[in-house]
Amino acid sequence: MQPELRNRLRDNYSTIYVTIVSVMLGLALDDLVSIMRSLENISLFNWLTAAFSAHVIFNAWVGYSCTAAILRLVPSVWDALNVLALSLAHFGLNSAIGEEPIIFFCVASCYAAIAGAVTYYNVWRADQDDAVNIKVSTFRAVIGVNVAGTIGFLTAGILTRTMLLTPDFQAVIVAMALPFATLWIFVFLRVWKANGLPVWLDGARSKKTPAEITPRKPEM
């Protein structure tokens, strides 16, 4: 590939990637709302599962926006498969809302595993950018949260299958999963900033230096 064309692809990588991710996550959120509206009797368990699904959609946007927005890379087919895999996982998680609790727990376990793999890929992909100095090993805590979610939801599904979990306790487990979803964001942003990389929250808190402030012209 000619160097000029390669540079053009790199310059447009962030725009293409963030646009595709935003569209897919927007569709997942719309799908979640449609499913909730279709339910006749919404139980506490359904509300909690919907809240969890909405939370992880937000998590995905945070992760993708932080990584893709700063990268200059040549797009590959694996980038598309990466977004497609997590998007299908979101749609699968939405589809499990309103079903038997065991179905939701098993699907949520699969989602956590896919999200962990996607996080690993995004960090590995970011390391391929010469301007980004980052290693996958520094994100072990982030991926560890995904592994914990995979094991936790799978265990809940097994206990539900063996009739050891009452409906109330099933709702408690999903309620406990919400803080873990929040924990994922804090751990991700903490590790991301610890590597000296910018995050999307910094833009709202950034302050201009005196040299960057342009004095206003007096009104006539």
Cα-trace Rg, the chain: 20
Six token digits for residue 31 = 């799908």
Q: What is the pLDDT of residues 32-50, one digit of tens each?
A: 999 999 988 888 999 999 9
Confidence of residue 2 (pLDDT cuts 50, 70, 90): low
25-34, 40-49, 144-153, 198-207: least confident range: 198-207
Q: What is the pLDDT of residues 89-143, one digit of tens each?
A: 999 999 999 899 999 999 999 999 999 999 999 888 888 877 777 778 888 888 9
The greatest distance separating any two alpha carbons of the chain, rounded to the nearest whole angstrom, comes to: 80
The sign of the torsion formed by the CA atoms of 24, 26, 27, 29 equals: positive
Q: Count CA atoms within 13 Å of residue 65 on its CB side.
A: 16
Q: For all residues of the chain together, what is the average pLDDT?
A: 82
Note the pLDDT of residue 15: 82
CB within 8 Å of 102: residues ≥ 6 apart:
157, 160, 161
Distance CA 152, CA 214 (A): 54
Whole-number percent of the chain with pLDDT over 70: 85
Asked whether the beta carbons of 164 and 118 are under 8 A apart, the reply is: no
Asked whether the beta carbons of 195 and 138 are under 8 A apart, the reply is: yes
CB within 8 Å of 149: residues ≥ 6 apart:
108, 109, 112, 115, 177, 180
Confidence of residue 200 (pLDDT cuts 50, 70, 90): low
Cβ atoms within 10 A of the Cβ of 185, count?
16
The answer to whether residue 180 scores a pLDDT higher than 60 is yes
Phi and psi, residue 166, nearest 5°? -80, 160
Question: Which DSSP string corresponds to 187-210?
Answer: HHHHHHHHTT---TTHHHH----G
Asked whether the beta carbons of 155 and 139 are under 8 A apart, the reply is: no
Nearest Cα to Cα of residue 188 among 200, 177, 176, 171: 200
pTM of this structure: 0.83
The answer to whether residue 167 scores a pLDDT higher than 90 is no
Confidence of residue 197 (pLDDT cuts 50, 70, 90): low
Confidence of residue 199 (pLDDT cuts 50, 70, 90): low
